[in-house]
Amino acid sequence: MKISIIGTGYVGLVTGVCLASKGHDVICVDQKQEVIDKINNLITPIYESGLEELMIKVIKTGKLVATTDLKSSVMNSEISIIAVGTPFGNDKIDLRHIEKSAWEIGSILMDKEHYHVVCVKSTVIPTTTDTLVKNVLESASGKKAGDFGLTMNPEFLREGKAVEDFMYPDRIVIGAYDNRSFETMKHVYEGFFDAPIINVNLRTAEMIKYTANALLATLISFANEIGSICEKTKDIDVKEVMESVTLDKRFNPRINNQLVNPEMINYLKAGCGFGGSCFPKDVKALISYSKWAGYVPQIIDATIRVNKEQPLKMINRLEEILRTLKGKKVAILGLAFKPDTDDVRESPSIAIINSLLEKGALVYGIDPIANQNMQKIIPEDRKSVWYSTDYKEALKDADAAILVTSWAEFIDIPTQDFSQLMKTLVVVDGRRVLNKKGLEDVGVMYIGVGLS
Ligand code: UGA
């Protein structure tokens, strides 16, 4: 099929490259000339594992082209997939980019004779596609939905594993305005053999996406809440508790007497909170939508509240031990919101560093690849904030260390390095991945989230 994709961020580009690799003719459109130039020069504007190799391949075989020319892209394709950003504004989702894209596509459809399907892939709150997008498309095109097709096809891509998640989806959700839209959209996913195609209405598709993210985020906050109860109770370790709870075969079945260990149970581990470009923004948008729709949510509201407090609890525990943080050098092990990414958006490390700085501490952040991105949020001044990739520099003469991101590099730090390099031997393990006994054996005071 001929497909145009509007927006070449992480969702748009991954979608474009993967669909092109399945044999479709894809045109990636972005208003930013520099982004298009990069793609045409065979450089991915974002880092995503496996993406660049695949992108180069599909560009070289002519299956993917990139342009700023929306008009010719829409005119020369059968489907336009909208994959623009939907950030969280002050108190609700910001749909400006969606509205603008719908208007521009609609204006082009006015002159287009052939049937064309508009698909929303961006995460949007329920009713966005069948009200805002539909209305804007109708006004701009002078046509009625039905003359053109309309679908909502959410993505379930994890950062760092987006290509793999796209190529091997668990399910393909297609919300459709009518049967013709659905049937056309279904052809996009021919060749994704095993994945069930879920045919729902537009607003259900939108809700499925939010529910998926809200559920995962809530699991994390649930584990963190249990951790907080454990912290208040001597000799109960949340790690032991959750490990045992998730051995229930309903969470972790056995096949041929081997535990399956589904990834889901990793979301039931206590830590210093979730971050990233999706969970925080999506749960907040769902809360705001729910209130607008007439229901005041309880559980997902608490999911956000628990998550907001979680990073600061690391600081409170440190302060209890060191009494004051003023002038203390604190090493922050990990800045990215999760390992294997350079993304620091909404990372717990931001709240932790800001709180430390407010309390007069000196912060030494280390991360294998996220330093540059963190610089844009909290710049290095070399008076109170330093960044490095060398953990030894960070630990040297430190009064404390807080592990924020469970990078393999940090898990592998020899315990002697903590004891030999640090001035005061206090380590806060915000992910429960360090060797507690090994650290205690070399004299380090180990403070673990979810452990008194
Ligand atoms: C998340 C969802 O997992 C995707 O399914 C969804 O498509 C995506 O948002 C989106 O809406 O676009 P992502 O933000 O890349 O993907 O991150 P995850 O890998 O799920 O991590 C989110 C948070 O959960 C992180 O803070 C991470 O530390 C935490 N997490 C992740 C865990 O606590 N345990 C894990 O095993 C994985």
CA 339 to ligand 1 center in whole angstroms? 11
Q: Give me the DSSP letters along 97-158.
A: HHHHHHHHHHHHHTT--S--EEEE-S---TTIIIIIIHHHHHHHHS--BTTBEEEE----PP
User: In b/e form, how buried is each residue of 208-244, taking b as 16+ CB within 10 angstroms?
Assistant: bbbebbbebbbbbbbbbbbbbebbeeeebbbbebbee
Q: For residue 341, which atom of ligand 1 is closest to its CA?
A: 15
pTM recorded for the entire structure: 0.95
Known catalytic residue at 272: no
Nearest CA to ligand 1 atom 31: 267
pLDDT tens digit sequence for 146-184: 999 999 999 999 999 999 999 999 999 999 999 999 999
From 18, 119, 230, 278, the catalytic residue: 278
**Amino acid 143: pLDDT:** 98
From 84, 209, 278, 282, give the residue whose CB has the most ligand 1 atoms within 8 Å, as the site to mutate: 278
**pLDDT band (50, 70, 90) for residue 404:** very high
Q: Does position 191 have pLDDT exceeding 90, yes or no? A: no
pLDDT tens digit sequence for 323-334: 999 999 999 999
pLDDT tens digit sequence for 111-140: 999 999 999 999 999 999 999 999 999 999
**Amino acid 47: pLDDT:** 83
Mean pLDDT across the stretch 253-264?
Answer: 96
**Amino acid 194: pLDDT:** 83
Instruction: List all residues 6 or more positions away from 103 whose beta carbon is below 8 Å from its beta carbon.
Output: 136, 139, 140
Phi-psi domain of 267 (left: phi exceeds 0; alpha: psi -120 through 50; beta: other): alpha
Considering the chain, what is the average pLDDT of its residues?
Answer: 97
Q: Reduced to 3 states, what is the DSSP secondary structure of residue 403?
A: strand
**Amino acid 9: pLDDT:** 93
- Ligand 1 binding pocket (C-beta < 6 A) is 123, 155-159, 213, 216, 220, 263, 266-267, 271, 274-276, 278-279, 282, 337-338
**Amino acid 69: pLDDT:** 98
**Amino acid 46: pLDDT:** 86
In what side-by-side order are the strands of the sheet with 149-152? Answer: 64-67, 25-29, 2-6, 79-82, 117-120, 149-152, 172-176, 197-200
CA 379 to ligand 1 center in whole angstroms? 26
**pLDDT band (50, 70, 90) for residue 216:** very high
Q: Does position 145 have pLDDT exceeding 80, yes or no? A: yes
Q: Give the amino acid at 17.
A: V
If you ran DSSP here, which 8-state letter would residue 93 be given? B
